[in-house]
């Protein structure tokens, strides 16, 4: 009888542990689920990646456009773009959890309030520091009850991040112009996520003091600040042709010393574990600037 009682006790404990789960999201809001998430809609491409890292890729029932990594994510039904979420498409997926990005329409308070008013729990991601990536993966693992996978992935990320920071962050600074696009000429400010990667590599963003997160600027302001390296991202995996347009200004240090670099945008602008691949590439590029004796 005692053994039977113990067995039922263990079964009850296991059931309870797999039942209600809760985390505090980046808004400071408690997200509570009566049972771990089984049907998840992700409203940003980087959140799709982080769900896969947390061991929850097979539970994503809806995602936004450009959710293309890992390759399996391309088969996930779309519910709009991250700036034009279709409420009807999301509801049709019958989700028990929506994960959203605070910087896009999917993280707009009015949009989130509509989901929450319908009884759909919403977890909001708002990464500002590189360490926030590991936190988000752990949170998602908690909400889906996959802590072993999620915590292991987050720990690997944290270790590699610490290693890169130790190796590069305190090296002599290199002034960097990070170019998002050419027409209009656009960059990213210091508080933007990419600015964290630049600092990790011992770089100094020449537009770190910009008021807006993604300011449009003039060529004259770049010439005046005369960066030692120009790093372009663009829109795809290929080096943009417009990066070489800077050769029209041979007086720039970056042009004179052949320090025109490219980092694929998905490896530096998405808050996922892959950002450390982009960081590693950028750190090596800035190390080359130092080695060339800027």
- Are 204 and 255 contained in the same domain? yes
pLDDT reported for residue 139? 98
Closest CA to 180 of 216, 206, 211: 216
Domain boundary pick from 160, 184, 211: 160
**Same domain, yes or no: 151 and 257:** no
Among 102, 266, 131, residue whose Cα is nearest residue 199: 131
Q: Is 50 within 8 Å of 272 (Cβ atoms)?
A: yes
Identify whether residues 181 and 227 lie together within a single domain: yes
* Tokens standing for residue 132: 């926030």
Residue 193 pLDDT: 82
CA dihedral 156, 157, 162, 167 (to 10 degrees): 100
Contacts of 285 (CB under 8 A, 6+ apart): 229, 231, 259, 261, 263
Parent domain of 281: 169-291
| Spatial CB neighbours of 203, under 8 Å, sequence gap ≥ 6 | 173, 174, 175, 176, 229, 282, 286
- On whether both 71 and 200 belong to a single domain, the answer is no
Structure confidence at residue 17 (pLDDT): 47
Q: Are residues 176 and 282 in the same domain?
A: yes
Residue 230 pairs in a beta bridge with 177, 260
Half-sphere exposure of 90 (CA within 13 A, CB side): 28
- What CA–CA distance (Å, rounded) separates 246 from 121? 48
Given 133, 160, 187, which residue is the final one in a domain?
160
In this structure, the answer to whether residues 146 and 208 fall within a common structural domain is no
Q: Which of 118, 140, 160 is the last residue of a domain?
A: 160
One digit per residue, the tens of pLDDT, for the chain of length 294 reads 444 444 444 444 444 445 899 999 999 999 999 999 999 999 999 999 999 999 999 999 999 999 999 999 999 999 998 778 899 999 999 999 999 998 654 556 777 888 889 999 999 999 989 999 999 999 999 999 999 999 999 999 999 999 999 999 999 999 999 999 999 999 998 777 899 999 999 999 999 988 888 899 999 999 999 999 999 997 878 899 999 999 999 999 999 999 999 999 999 999 999 999 999 999 999 999 999 975
Shared-domain flag, residues 285 and 211: yes
| Three-class secondary structure of residue 205 per DSSP | strand
The maximal CA–CA distance of the chain, rounded, in angstroms, is 87
Residues 75 and 122 in one domain: yes
pLDDT of amino acid 106: 52
What gap in Å lies between CA 200 and CA 126, rounded to an integer? 19
* 80 and 146 part of one domain: yes
6 and 134 share one domain? yes
- CATH number, domain of 272, equals 3.40.50.1980
Q: What is the structure's pLDDT at 130?
A: 95
DSSP per residue, 163-181: HHHHHHTTSPPEEEEEEEE
E strands, 27-121, are 30-33, 40-42, 60-63, 80-81, 84-85, 97-101
Residue 279 sits in the same domain as residue 177 = yes
Q: Are 201 and 226 found together in one domain?
A: yes
Number of structural domains in the chain: 2
Distance of alpha carbon 139 from alpha carbon 228, whole angstroms: 39
Measure the CA–CA gap between 126 and 15, rounded to whole angstroms.
32
Can you read off the two tokens belonging to residue 108? Answer: 């707009």
């Amino acid at each position: 009888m005692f053994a039977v009682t113990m067995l039922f006790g263990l079964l009850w404990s296991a059931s309870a542990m797999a039942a209600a789960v809760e985390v505090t999201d980046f808004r400071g809001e408690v997200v509570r689920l009566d049972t771990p998430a089984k049907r998840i809609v992700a409203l940003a491409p980087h959140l799709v990646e982080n769900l896969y890292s947390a061991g929850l890729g097979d539970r994503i029932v809806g995602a936004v456009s450009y959710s293309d990594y890992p390759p399996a994510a391309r088969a996930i039904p779309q519910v709009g773009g991250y700036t034009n979420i279709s409420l009807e498409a999301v509801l049709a997926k019958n989700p028990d959890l929506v994960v959203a990005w605070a910087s896009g329409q999917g993280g707009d308070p009015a949009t989130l309030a509509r989901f929450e008013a319908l009884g759909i729990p919403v977890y909001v991601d708002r990464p500002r520091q590189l360490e926030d990536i590991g936190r988000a993966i752990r949170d998602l693992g908690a909400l889906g009850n996959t802590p072993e996978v999620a915590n292991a992935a987050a720990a690997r990320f944290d270790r590699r991040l610490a290693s890169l920071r130790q190796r590069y962050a305190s090296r002599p600074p290199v002034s960097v112009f990070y170019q998002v696009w050419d027409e209009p000429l656009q960059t990213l400010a210091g508080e933007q996520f990419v600015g964290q990667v630049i600092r990790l590599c011992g770089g100094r963003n020449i537009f770190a003091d910009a008021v807006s997160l993604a300011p449009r600027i003039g060529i004259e302001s770049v010439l005046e600040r005369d960066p030692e390296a120009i790093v372009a991202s663009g829109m795809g995996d290929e080096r943009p042709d417009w990066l070489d347009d800077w050769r029209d200004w041979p007086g720039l240090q970056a042009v004179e010393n052949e320090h025109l670099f490219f980092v694929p945008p998905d490896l530096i602008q998405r808050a996922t574990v892959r950002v450390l691949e982009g960081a590693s590439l950028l750190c090596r590029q800035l190390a080359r600037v130092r080695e060339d004796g800027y």
